[in-house]
Structure 1
Amino acid sequence: MTIRTGIGGWTFPEWRGVFYPPDLRQKDELAYAAAHLGAIEVNATFRRLQTPATFARWRDAVPEGFRFALKGSRYVVTRPRLADAGEAVARFCGQGIAELGDRLGPVLWQLSSHRVFDAVEMAAFFALLPRAIDGLPLQHVIEAGHPSFACEDFASLAREAGVAIAVVDAAGSETIDVVTTDFAYARLKNASERLKRGYPPAAIEEWARWALAHEAAGRDAWMFCINGAKVRAPAAAMTLARKIRAG
């Protein structure tokens, strides 16, 4: 089993001189980030469709073992009725993501914090998510921000569909930490800019234990340091990785 820690995106001006060397060419940022981290959660796929050539370029810029998690399209998750998103889901999955090959990680579907849980709608949405594209297996994750999702019905639907539920560490956010498939996915948003590594040692230890527990149970674990004090995200992700390696 594998534990990967990473960040959201790789283009952020404030990382220059903090994470990226000041003289690093912008076109080399992805390769540099991939050499220091295990994964990146791509934000650009949420905003717009990409081209097969773009996915191929990303694939070729990163080393073996590195993975991209992709945020699912906003044209899917912002619909009034998720059950009507079949065409948009197919368009997203068919845009060329298979070009990533073995560099492809999970697809994250991030729901609005205002969307209330509806069992019939969620079952219909999960049924729209393909298990493979062009012969490449797909893994799906769902992030639900509304407190109504903290129920066994939601967990049961996700478990039946083989969809992971994202564990979100954020102030004022409902944290749903239940196992529904063979991998776990966490999004850590509580970093503090005043801390060089983003999180205090106790929090780093807690999240390292979380990842190692999933590994011990035979599950992959994905951990992304995002939002919050974004300038500290790379340091937080690398500190987590070191703590996990130390056991």
Structure 2
Amino acid sequence: MAGRIRIGVSGWRYGPWRGNFYPPGLPQHRELWHAARHFNSIELNGSFYSLQRPSSYAQWAAATPPGFVFAVKGGRFITHMLKLRNAQAALGNFFASGLFALGDKLGPILWQFPPQLPFDAARFEAFFAALPADTDAAAQVALRRDHRLQGRELLQPLHRQRLRHAVEVRHDSFVDPAFIALLRRHGIAWVVADTPQPWPLYEDVTADFVYIRLHGSTELYKSRYTPQQIGRWAAAIEAWRHGGQPDDARLVSGQAPPRRAARDVYCYFDNTDKLHAPDNARELMAALGMALEPAEGAGWQAGDDPRRARGPRNRPGRPG
């Protein structure tokens, strides 16, 4: 028994991918459709910059095949502007904005904190306690939305499920065993975020799943991962998906996580500016023995009716 592996990219609308990862002539409205037939998950980052609409989430769900999963990035209004304080209405707006339209394609929710936000135990305890553990609880949170969502909200989940939350920290004060213990108490994943510096890179397991963001090993958002580096990440993922951790894991806490038979692993490449994210994601898939080619009949061909499976409009992808 082993956990499910999901490999993908952060965002999908990037100019340099056109004519490279995306075939020449592929309409922009089918870029998600194409990407979702090569990867089994994508990190949706437009939700970080602004509240989306239920119709957009529904289009994204319709453009992707069965079994596909989106990781959804929590709003920066909550994390960067409010800095988690007095966020009840903002959380309500986020969960009412259309996430439920993804149905069973709703995967982990990523909360990324700004580099200026240090660890404050009371502040994070309160925020973690406010995060809904399942879609029923999220529906109750959504009821707290304010007037800005009037007429454009979705308050009823289309699919009942447990919700997973992951946090990406960018301040050294989080390199604290007390924070690891807090995450484990709430079942929230510490994001393994690979960057050249200055953000902390540690690999403590704090939940029943592992969430990885690969931003570039030597140049933030740009550098390509070498075959040796891809091999190291593949070995780490194999350890995590079998319930353990890598022998060379970089750890904050000396307290080992509870042993599990399996953990799901989500891994997203964010080294996007120079074409590398799709290539590196496929290289990691190959190293893990995952299928690289889409299912028969799933590929796009020149001459396809552009009105078929009309995909989403997502704002241009941004690193983050």
Range of TM-score over shorter length: over 0.9
Partner residue of 1:175 out of 187, 190, 201: 201
Q: Contact 2:60 / 2:102 at 8 angstroms: preserved in 1?
A: yes
1:29 is aligned to: 31
Indicate yes or no: 2:146 matched with 1:137.
no
**More strand by percentage:** 1
**More helix by percentage:** 1
State the structure with bigger RCO (CA 8 A, min sep 6), 1 or 2.
Answer: 2
CA distance in 2, matches of 1:158, 1:175: 16
AA matched with 2:102: L
TM-score, structure 1 length as denominator?
0.94
- Provide closer, same or farther for how the CA distance between residues 228 and 54 of structure 1 changes in structure 2, counting only shifts above 3 A: closer
CA distance in 1, matches of 2:87, 2:63: 32
- Provide closer, same or farther for how the CA distance between residues 102 and 96 of structure 1 changes in structure 2, counting only shifts above 3 A: same
Indicate yes or no: 2:261 matched with 1:235.
no
User: CA offsets per residue over residues 95-123 of structure 1, 9 Å max, x none?
Assistant: 11111111111110000011111111110
Indicate yes or no: 2:267 matched with 1:223.
yes
Deviation at 1:79, TM superposition (A): 3.2
Q: Contact 2:213 / 2:269 at 8 angstroms: preserved in 1?
A: yes
- Provide closer, same or farther for how the CA distance between residues 176 and 89 of structure 1 changes in structure 2, counting only shifts above 3 A: farther
CA distance in 1, matches of 2:170, 2:13: 26
AA matched with 2:205: V
AA matched with 2:269: C
How does 1:27-176 map onto structure 2 within 5 Å? 27-133=29-135, 134=157, 135-172=160-197, 173-176=199-202
- Provide closer, same or farther for how the CA distance between residues 230 and 4 of structure 1 changes in structure 2, counting only shifts above 3 A: farther
Q: Secondary structure at the match of 1:29?
A: helix
Q: Secondary structure at the match of 1:50?
A: coil
1:198 is aligned to: 224
Q: Contact 2:54 / 2:98 at 8 angstroms: preserved in 1?
A: yes
Deviation at 1:176, TM superposition (A): 2.5
- Provide closer, same or farther for how the CA distance between residues 228 and 59 of structure 1 changes in structure 2, counting only shifts above 3 A: closer
Q: How many residues in Structure 1 have an aligned counterpart in Structure 2?
A: 243
1:245 is aligned to: 289
Identity among equivalent positions (%) equals 39
Q: More deviation in 200-209 or 133-142?
A: 133-142
Q: Secondary structure at the match of 2:123?
A: helix
CA distance in 2, matches of 1:145, 1:192: 17
Q: Contact 1:191 / 1:229 at 8 angstroms: preserved in 2?
A: no
Q: Contact 1:198 / 1:229 at 8 angstroms: preserved in 2?
A: no
List gaps (5 residues or longer) in structure 1. none
TM-score, structure 2 length as denominator?
0.73
Moved over 6 A (4+): none
Q: More deviation in 208-217 or 129-138?
A: 129-138
What CA RMSD, in Å, does the superposition of the two structures yield over aligned residues? 1.7
CA distance in 2, matches of 1:49, 1:230: 28
List gaps (5 residues or longer) in structure 2. 136-156, 244-261, 291-320
AA matched with 2:284: L
